[in-house]
Amino acid sequence: MKTLKPGATGSEVTTLQELLRQWQYPCPVTGVFDNETEKYVRDFQHLQGLSADGIVGKHTWDALQDSIKLELLPFRLCETDYAEAARTLNVEVAALKAVEEVETGGGGGFIQVGYPTILFEGHIFWNQLKERGLNPEDYRVGNEDILYPEWTKRYYKKGMEEYKRLERAEQINGVAALCSASWGMWQIMGFNYNACGCRDVFEFITQMQLKERTQLDLFLAFLRTNGWDKYLRDKNWSEFARHYNGPSYRENEYDKKLANAYEKYSI
């Protein structure tokens, strides 16, 4: 597909408008890249983490035709969900979106239907086993990529490969393994299930598997339980980063990434 700019006409524009309609934008199919079509394109690009310039190039075409994301569309958040959540916490929508972008790169809460976005943390698994009276060293041989005493990102696989790491950990101890992954759009660690209002990690994961709206509700509960919503309200990125991401947040410039993402979404 060729690059399209506002003012273009023809069959490719018709295809663009039909794709936008698949993404639930009420875009008239006219074959003319008018102001209304440009508005929807910019909004789509914005939500997909692309440059919201209104120009439909390769990356925008690829995102529009992503069948996996289209399949997940019924499970996605809408702007109304964000607006309601923002009112609940008395924060800006841009602040909520900023945290999601930094946590999952704007990729959303699901890898595919039934599989929330996860990241398995081997150093957390190490501590979770110790809390259950198990010696991690007894299980380390052959599991060096899922069980280690200190944080490292060298073993991250992302996508469905993270579920393979999780499944191997479950063979050692199921509950400890589930508690050792971060889940959903806001990457909440499984061991935080109680702060999210869940009675156990299984209820927590069941809620994570439903749709992004339930992931959002868990995130809101998590913030309110810990009182961290005040940092989002004040846009105190360093304090939010310190509490949400840990004392080593500066190493990853977590606070700067939050501030930059907020600026993008607050435009």
> How far is 182 from 185, CA to CA, in rounded Å?
9
Question: In the prediction, which pLDDT does 173 show?
Answer: 98
CATH 1.10.101.10 segments of the chain: 11-65
HEC profile of 37-86:
HHHHHHHHHHHCCCCCCCCECHHHHHHHCCHHHHHHHHHCCCHHHHHHHH
How large is the C-alpha radius of gyration of the chain?
Answer: 20
Architecture of the domain defined by 11-65: Orthogonal Bundle (1.10)
- Tokens standing for residue 40: 């929807």
Residue partners of 167: CB distance under 8 A and separation at least 6: none
- Please tell me the distance from the alpha carbon of residue 251 to that of residue 245, in angstroms, as a whole number: 11
| Residue written as token pair 């702007």 | 79
The per-residue pLDDT for 79 is 86
Q: What confidence score (pLDDT) does residue 194 get?
A: 98
Q: Note down pLDDT in tens along the chain; length 267 residues.
A: 899 999 999 999 999 999 999 888 989 999 999 999 999 999 888 878 788 899 999 999 999 998 888 888 888 888 899 999 999 999 999 999 999 999 998 788 999 889 999 999 999 999 999 999 999 999 999 999 999 999 999 999 989 999 999 999 999 999 999 999 999 999 999 999 999 999 999 999 999 999 999 999 999 999 999 999 999 999 999 999 999 988 888 888 999 999 999 998 887
